[in-house]
Structure 1
Amino acid sequence: MTRLPFRKSTRGHGRHLFASTAVVATTLLTGCGPHADSADDGPAPGTRDQFVPAAVEFTNPIDTEWSVPPPPRLTGELERADMLVIGASPLPARLRNRIDSMPQVRATIPLAMASVRVADRSITVAAVDSASYRRFTPEATATTDGVWDAVAAGEVVLSHQIADDLSQPLGGTLTVRQRGDGLPLRVGAYATTLPRVHAIVNERRGDQLGISQHNALVVALRHDDIAEGTRDVRKVVRDRARVDPLHPTTATRGSHTALLTGGAVADAVGSFSYRYFPDGTVAPQREWVNANIRTESVPILGTVTCHRVMLPQLRAALSEVERRGLTAAIDPDDYGGCYFPRFIGYDPDRGLSLHTWGIAIDLNVAGNHRGTKGEIDRDVVAIFKKWGFAWGGDWDWTDPMHFELAALVRH
C-alpha cells in the first residue's frame, strides 16, 4: 500500500493530496480565491474566484534518480532576502565569504541560477538547498513542508503566475528545452519564493539543467537601507558579478541578469544584464546588444533585427522557401518581429520573452494565434525545422506564429 503524504498549498487554505512515488495518484485541489493571499503573483491555477474542486491524475512517476534527502524541520527565525549577487560563472568562495563577513550583512546563502527555455519564454530557475533557501522565502512558503518535500523529491516548484500562464497542473509535466531535446520535470507544488525566481529545483536537478553551481548569492542585510547596503556590497564585488536589489523602488524598477543555459544555442547567444521598466519593457546592457544584435536584409521579409547567430540560419531557411516556390506562404506585411526586449505580457513575473534574446520570430501573425492549429504552410514549418528552428505549433498550448532558434546548423 502506498502512503499518501499530505501536502498543504501555500495559497489560502488549498490542500493537495497525492502519492509521491506512485505511478498514478489522484489529487483533490481546492483553493481560496485571490483574496486568500497576496494578489501580487495572481491566483494559482484552479483557484480563481472561489473554492474549485478539480481532480488531477498523476500519470507520470517521480524520477528518484534526481531526489535528495528531505530537509529537516524548520526552526529559528526567517531571513529577508534583500539583494542578489549573480555572476556568469561560480562566485569564488573567497568572495562569498567576504560578503558574508561584512558588518552590514546579516546572512547569505549560495545558490545556482540560470534562465531556461520553456514554451515562448525564458524563465529563471534556482537550484537550491531546501534547508537553507526556505529561510529566505515568504513565511507562507517557508513553513509549508510540502513545497520543500517536492523539491527534495526532484520535482519542480513553479511560481503561481508561471503555472497559470503555462496551464501547468500539479503532477503535470513542465518541458524544459535542453540541448535540442525536451527535459520533462514533474510539477510538485506552486509557491512564491524570491522576486523574479519563477521555478526552483534541487541542486541535483540544477546539475542536470547545466546551471553553474554557486553562481549566485542571496544576501540579507542587518538594516532597512537596501540602497546603501547594495552600494557597500558592490564596492566589494566590483566587476566580478552583478548586485541586484530584490525590492527596487526607483522609477526603473530595477535590474537583473539573464544567464541562458541549455546547450550550444545558449552558449552562442551569450548572457547579459538588463534594466527593466514599469511598462514591462527591457533594456539589455549596451555591450551585449552591440556585440550580438544585427539589422540585416533577408529574403522575403526584407530588413530584420535579430541575434547575429540566428541570422545565417534564418536567411538559409527563407532562401529555401523561395527556391521551393513557397514565397507567397509568408506575408512580409504580417511579420511580427524578432528582437523586441520585453517580458511576456509586459510583466516581470512571467519571464523574459525569447524576443529579448533576438532568437525568435513571429510569422503570419493574423492567422496563427495562440491556442490554434494555425494557418501557416506546413512545408514552410518543415523547412524552418530543417534549419534548426523549433515551432510553437508543436507545444501543448500552441503558438503557430512562433519560430525560435533551437539548434546550430552548418550551412
Structure 2
Amino acid sequence: MGLVRRALTSRPVVGLAGGAALLALSACGTPQGADKDPKADPSEAAASTSATAKADPTTPVADPAHAVAPPGPFDGKQYGDDLLLVSQDSLSEDDLATITGVTVRGKKGVAAYTQLSYGQFSVENKLFNIAAVDPGDYRRFTGNGSATFQEQWDRIAGGEVAIPKTLEKDLVPDSEGYLAVDEEKIHIGALFPGGVDGVDAVVNTKWGQALGLPEDNAVLINTGLSSPQVVRKKIENAFGKDRFSISALDIVAQSGIDPGTYQQAIPVGAFSDAVGVFRYTPIGGGRIAPDPAWVKAHIVTEVVPILGSVTCNKYLMPQLKAALAEIVTSKLADKIHPGEYAGCYYPRFIAGSTQLSNHSFGLALDLNVPGNQRGTVGQMDRVVVAIFKKWGFAWGGDWAYTDPMHFELARIVNPG
C-alpha cells in the first residue's frame, strides 16, 4: 500500500508491548531508518531526525507534509528524566553549554540531555503541555514501556501525536481521531503509559514549527548520580532563579507540580498574542501568584455593557464589549443576569488539579451560573451563544463534558 495522507480510519485501540496502545493506520509495512547515538555526553550533538521523510511505500506515514525521518530500531540506551528546564525563547549555544556543563564535586552534573520545543495548548478550558521532539533521542528519557514502543515513535515521526493513556478522556479526538491543537488538527497515533511528567502530548519537530513552538527552548535532563536538586541549584546560580522554569520531575510525578518554583506557560496559537509568556509561582491551596509585570501589562478593569465593571485580559475586552453590545441591540440583555456573573480573571489552578484554566489569563468568563452547571445542557439562551461565537468566543456547552456557563476567547476578532 502507498502513503496514507489525512484520510485515516479510526479502529479500536489495540494493546502492544509494555501495556502501550496504538490507533491503527490504514497502511502496511515496517518503518526503516538509521539509529543514532543519544546526547549521553553533553558536548556531543546528537544527529537530527528532522529531515523530511522520503516517500517509501514500505513506510507507513500518516502525514507526509509533517513527517520527519523515522528513528529506526531502539538500541536499548535509556536515561532517567530528572529535570525539565524551559525558557521563553530558543536556548543559545552558550546557554546550553553552561547548563550541560554543570559539575557537582568535580563530576558532570548532567549525564544526558535532549532538547525539545515546548509550549501549551488549550482544550476545553484546560491547558496542556506539548513537546516537539527528536523521536529517536527523546524516547530514551520516557521509561522502558514507552521507549521500547517502536510503533509510537514511528507514528510521531510520521506526523501523528502521542498522548498518555491517562489523558485519553481529556484530550478528546474528533470522530476521525484528530486532536485539535489551536487551528491545527493532528491525528492521534498512540496512547502510551508513563512517559515524561510535564509533557502531555508529543509531536515531531515539523509539527513544532507548524504550531509556532519556540524552537529548542527546553531541555530534558538526566543528572546521573548527582542530586537533581543540587544540579537545579547550580543552574539557578549560573543564570538567576527567574531566567528559566526548572521542574524536578520526581516531585511533579507525585503532586503534578513542583511547589514554590517559578513556572511559565507559553501558549501557542490564538492565545499567543493575548498571553505571551505567563510567569507564575504556585503558592498553595490551588492558588498561583502571576508575575506582577505580566498582570500590569495584560489585566485591566473596564466597564462593559450589561455586566458593568469587569476585570479581564485587555485583549479580550474589545470582543467582549462588541458581543455584549450586540446582545443589547438584539433586545436580549435580560438573558444575561449581572448578579449571576462569576468573574473573568482569577489566577489559580482548576479545582482538584494542577492545570491552569483560561481564567488564569483573564480570557474566559462565567455567566448565569446557577442555571448552567457543569454536565448539564444549561439554560443559556442559544441566540446569546451564537452572538458570543460570532465575536470569537467558544462556548463550554459544546464540550464533551459540558460547562454551559463558560465562554472563552477562541480567536481574535477585530471589532473595527
- Give TM-score scaled by structure 1 length: 0.79
CA drift of 1:266 comes to 1.7
In 1: Cα distance, 2:120 partner to 2:68 partner:
23
Find out whether 1:223 has 2:229 as its counterpart: no
CA drift of 1:190 comes to 1.8
Residue in structure 2 matched with residue 105 of structure 1 by the alignment: 110
In 2: Cα distance, 1:93 partner to 1:185 partner:
31
Residue in structure 2 matched with residue 365 of structure 1 by the alignment: 369
Residue in structure 1 matched with residue 74 of structure 2 by the alignment: 74
Secondary structure class of the residue paired with 2:169:
helix
In 1: Cα distance, 2:124 partner to 2:15 partner:
28
In 1: Cα distance, 2:17 partner to 2:337 partner:
47
CA drift of 1:133 comes to 0.7
In 2: Cα distance, 1:340 partner to 1:328 partner:
26
Secondary structure class of the residue paired with 2:182:
strand
Give the direction of change, closer, same or farther, for the CA distance of 1:289–1:107 in structure 2 (3 Å limit): same
Give yes or no for contact 2:66–2:158 (8 Å, CA) kept in 1: yes
Give yes or no for contact 1:121–1:352 (8 Å, CA) kept in 2: yes
Residue in structure 1 matched with residue 85 of structure 2 by the alignment: 85
Match of 2:267 among 245, 256, 260: 260
Give the direction of change, closer, same or farther, for the CA distance of 1:124–1:374 in structure 2 (3 Å limit): same
In 2: Cα distance, 1:358 partner to 1:134 partner:
36
Give yes or no for contact 2:23–2:188 (8 Å, CA) kept in 1: no
The 5 A counterparts of 1:5-404 are 8-9=15-16, 12=19, 16=22, 18-21=24-27, 62-102=62-102, 103-168=108-173, 172-178=177-183, 183-191=184-192, 192-238=194-240, 240-248=243-251, 252=259, 254-263=261-270, 265-276=271-282, 279-348=285-354, 351-404=355-408
Farther off after superposition, 223-232 or 238-247: 238-247
Give yes or no for contact 1:258–1:272 (8 Å, CA) kept in 2: yes
Secondary structure class of the residue paired with 2:115:
strand
Secondary structure class of the residue paired with 1:99:
helix
In 2: Cα distance, 1:279 partner to 1:223 partner:
34
In 1: Cα distance, 2:199 partner to 2:17 partner:
16
Give the direction of change, closer, same or farther, for the CA distance of 1:213–1:62 in structure 2 (3 Å limit): same
CA drift of 1:143 comes to 1.8
Residue in structure 2 matched with residue 407 of structure 1 by the alignment: 412
Secondary structure class of the residue paired with 2:197:
coil
Give the direction of change, closer, same or farther, for the CA distance of 1:267–1:218 in structure 2 (3 Å limit): same
CA drift of 1:373 comes to 4.0
Give yes or no for contact 2:344–2:364 (8 Å, CA) kept in 1: yes
The count of corresponding residues between Structure 1 and Structure 2 is 364
What code does the residue aligned with 1:189 have? A
What code does the residue aligned with 2:248 have? P
Question: Between the two proteins, what is the percent identity of the paired residues?
Answer: 38
Give yes or no for contact 2:282–2:288 (8 Å, CA) kept in 1: yes
When the two chains are superposed, the root-mean-square deviation of aligned CA atoms in Å is: 3.0
In 1: Cα distance, 2:299 partner to 2:351 partner:
23
In 1: Cα distance, 2:109 partner to 2:226 partner:
10
Give the direction of change, closer, same or farther, for the CA distance of 1:343–1:212 in structure 2 (3 Å limit): same
In 1: Cα distance, 2:23 partner to 2:404 partner:
36
- The Cα offsets for residues 151-180 of structure 1, whole Å up to 9 and x where unpaired, read as 1121111123332224449972211223xx
Give yes or no for contact 2:393–2:408 (8 Å, CA) kept in 1: yes
